[in-house]
Amino acid sequence: IFCNSVTPTEPHLQQWLKEGVTIEVHTLSHPCPILGGRNFVPAKNTYHGGVDLLNNITNNLPVAFRTPCCDSQNTPSPRVFSELLMRNNPAGQFLEMDTSVFNIFTSEDKSLPASLLTDADGEAKFEKYVPFDSYVVTIENYPYPYAVGSSIWEMPCMVPSDWEAQHLHGNNNPVTVEDWKAAIDATVLKEGVFNFVFHPHGWVQNTQMIEWIDHITEAHGNKVKFLNFREALERLTKNMLGGQPLKAKNGQDNGVRLLDLNNDGFMDAVIGNETVQETRLWDPKAKRWKTSPFPFRLAHIDRDGNRSDSGARFGVLHPSGYASVFISNETVNGIWHFDGNGWQKDQALGQGLEIGGQAIQTANAGRDNGVRLRDTDNDGMCEIIVGNPQSQAVLKWNKSQRKWLPPNFNLPKNVQIVREDGSDNGVRFVDINKDGYLDVIHSNEVRYSFHLYVPQPILGWGIGWTREVMSDLRNDGNAIPMIVRGGEHNNNGAWFHSNHLWVQNEDTAHLPNLVDRRSFDDLLRGVMPLPKSPEDSAKAIETLPGFKVELMVNEPLVMDPVAFEWDEHGRLWVVEMADYPLGLDDNGKPGGRVRVLEDRNNDGRYDHSTVFLDALPYPSGVIPWRDGVLVSAAPNILFARDTNGDLRADETKILFTGFVEGNQQHRMNGFEYGLDNWVYAANGDSGGIIRSPGKDLSVNIRGRDFRFHPDTLAFETQAGQTQFGRRRDDWGNWFGNNNPSIGWHYPFPEHYIRRNPQLAS
């Protein structure tokens, strides 16, 4: 039961405790939001006061916190975590768990049956409960506890809460109960946790709660355990962490870190404190923990007993993809790799880690020196980044020279990861432009900047964070919201979610949905995207569920493609408009090509390219026909064929001519093979009076598309005027478009009308 201001001696409290519940912290005064009024002090008082009050209830030891209104507002700010939950109150009391973030099951989770994720009408079952579009204190498809800042557990709540349900479809709606059943069924399949949120306001009836509980016991039996938060915490500490809590007895760093050591998709644990130095690897098949030694302490303890991070930095520094750790402080130095069974020190990799002759230290006397491991160039191996007031560097392991070398770029000017005292300086590595590379965004109370990573030298930018999008002092009205703000409570409440930077604190509570925000599009406004490599371009394409994109061919095998078609041999015929828009000489010189691509090693990618025909004026279409191809290149439609087997055209003849040239974007184009064995093509909006050499033919195609037969040279207009790409479906329905219109359907073929002389066309 999450409580606000209660009387510790209230008799009901002892009865509830005997019944097995715990009484947890919900602040003293239930402020919504907890951070508001441009004043941090009330938030601090209501939180720490709540912790103190509930510790004064006999037989009660609170362990968990829930932010008021977290199911209806953006209240669980990172500032709440950093500056409240991770700190002790004046009496030295602290909590070990938060329950304010909401998990949403979505159709992206392919491990779950669609029936649990979608309603009968095909709409998303759980996303409909999100109270507003910019409600962003959520995670997706992860119904598991996780650690925030290595010091507090997050036990995610499940969507919907009873408030979210009544907000959508009223009190006591039976749909709510059915969706709760689906959510618990999904949670059981994923062997996760279901943190159930309901209130004493009549939004759900007791009988509905009993119906849901009965479903659990009948459908899942002993697969489900009903726990209070203390029991959940005890199980996590005992089973996952071998008896070592995230927080030490004084509420500070206990040297416990959670990470996936062997890249198997399951979280493991490493523990390094004055009592235990252990690695705990989860074996999903045996469903047990495998333990082995860990080489050093992860928590630094000073002479007064204060505890802090010893400076261990985890990342990937080995080709296996398993975890590595780099540490350099006053007592331990080196790089270790996890090999699947234990940690092995890499003597070679640990040598030469210095800047200007000075050894790199990850921490000094518990002070963070701003050393981070990040894979900056997407090669699967981390670089070592150093950013503090004395040193800025990026180091990459050089395999051939077997030493650490700077990769010809550094952190941007004025960008330091930590301040002089080791506190956070507001630097984050985030892929803002979605090119697969980490960019640098920096914002504090003094200045801000945003730099894009450039993977290859281009347009005067070298490799690295060389493309400055913005940078200035904080007196600019367009400044990026502060990530940190300085002072005793440094964290400003910034996080990245759904392609936005969000900030929630006492100074943003007056804004819509309580948050300041910058979309990635806003940050990139006016920034032209850099060309991507073919591989990165393919990765950047977003597809609907069930579809995927594979790279088939790229430059230099093909260039400037505008149309393509396969033949019966699996070869790909491509039209290249290399002369667009002004010709090869900027004076109209033709330079279009027809190219044929072959996959000669049968690996599914084209590896051989031959120019079949060139010097064409702005060609726009191609289709194999007989022993050659048809090509559209106004003013002509051509037939070209290879007679000696070298895949180069030896014979070319004009089948039809008279198509208006004009604007290259409005020329006739093709082709599509019809079910009636005619070849169809688009007018292009330019028209023309079409003739065929040596044949008595004159057809005005103004306002019409057309079809023709390459063998007989029959030629007819067709209903519809398509700018580019007249296409049909498998039932013979024809479709077209123009620049402002995404598509038209041409329901009645013109040749059916034309055969009835009594019907006006």
| Torsion on CA atoms 42, 46, 49, 50, rounded to nearest 10 | -170
**pLDDT, block means (10 residues), the chain with 761 residues:** 94 94 96 96 98 97 97 97 97 98 97 96 96 96 96 97 97 96 98 95 95 97 96 97 97 98 97 98 97 98 96 97 97 97 94 90 96 96 97 94 92 97 98 94 97 93 96 89 97 98 97 97 91 85 92 95 96 97 93 97 95 97 97 98 96 98 93 96 96 95 97 96 95 94 92 80 50
- Sequence-ordered list of residues with C-beta below 8 angstroms from that of 182, at least 6 positions apart, any chain: 115, 116, 117, 125
Q: What is the CA radius of gyration of the chain?
A: 33
- Sequence-ordered list of residues with C-beta below 8 angstroms from that of 63, at least 6 positions apart, any chain: 22, 24, 95, 96, 97, 229, 230, 233
Q: How far apart (Å, rounded) are the C-alpha atoms in residues 500 and 540?
A: 18
Q: Is 58 exposed, middle or buried (0-12, 13-18, 19+ CB in 10 A)?
A: exposed
Q: How far apart (Å, rounded) are the C-alpha atoms in residues 686 and 702?
A: 7
Residue with tokens 């019809």: 674
Cβ atoms of 576 and 592 within 8 Å: the answer is: yes
Per-residue pLDDT, 759: 73
Cβ atoms of 694 and 709 within 8 Å: the answer is: no
Q: Identify which of 294, 313, 310 has the alpha carbon closest to the alpha carbon of residue 353.
A: 313
Q: In what order do the strands lie in the sheet with 500-503?
A: 494-497, 500-503, 516-519
| Torsion on CA atoms 657, 660, 663, 665, rounded to nearest 10 | -60
Fill in the amino acid letter for 602. N
Q: How far apart (Å, rounded) are the C-alpha atoms in residues 398 and 690?
A: 65
Residue with tokens 């003597």: 347
Per-residue pLDDT, 758: 79
Cβ atoms of 608 and 622 within 8 Å: the answer is: no
Give CA 373 to chain center in angstroms.
Answer: 20
Per-residue pLDDT, 290: 98
Per-residue pLDDT, 753: 84
- Indicate the helix (H) or strand (E) that contains 314: strand 313-315
Q: How far apart (Å, rounded) are the C-alpha atoms in residues 619 and 668?
A: 9
Q: Is 463 exposed, middle or buried (0-12, 13-18, 19+ CB in 10 A)?
A: middle
Q: How far apart (Å, rounded) are the C-alpha atoms in residues 64 and 232?
A: 10
Q: What are the backbone dihedrals phi and psi of residue 214, each rounded to the nearest 5 degrees, phi first?
A: -60, -40
Q: To the nearest 5 percent, what fractions of the chain are helix, strand and coil?
A: 15, 30, 55
Q: How far apart (Å, rounded) are the C-alpha atoms in residues 429 and 510?
A: 29
Q: What are the backbone dihedrals phi and psi of residue 685, each rounded to the nearest 5 degrees, phi first?
A: 80, 10
Q: How far apart (Å, rounded) are the C-alpha atoms in residues 684 and 721?
A: 7
- Interior CA angle at 602 toward 598 and 606, to 5°? 35
Per-residue pLDDT, 215: 98
Per-residue pLDDT, 540: 85
Query: Beta 97-98 vs 64-65: how paired, if at all?
Result: parallel
Structural domains in the chain, CATH included, are 1-97 (no CATH), 101-240 (no CATH), 420-531 (no CATH), 544-755 (2.120.10.30)
Q: Identify which of 472, 490, 244 has the alpha carbon closest to the alpha carbon of residue 368.
A: 490
Q: Identify which of 45, 129, 47 has the alpha carbon closest to the alpha carbon of residue 86.
A: 47
Q: How far apart (Å, rounded) are the C-alpha atoms in residues 538 and 550?
A: 7
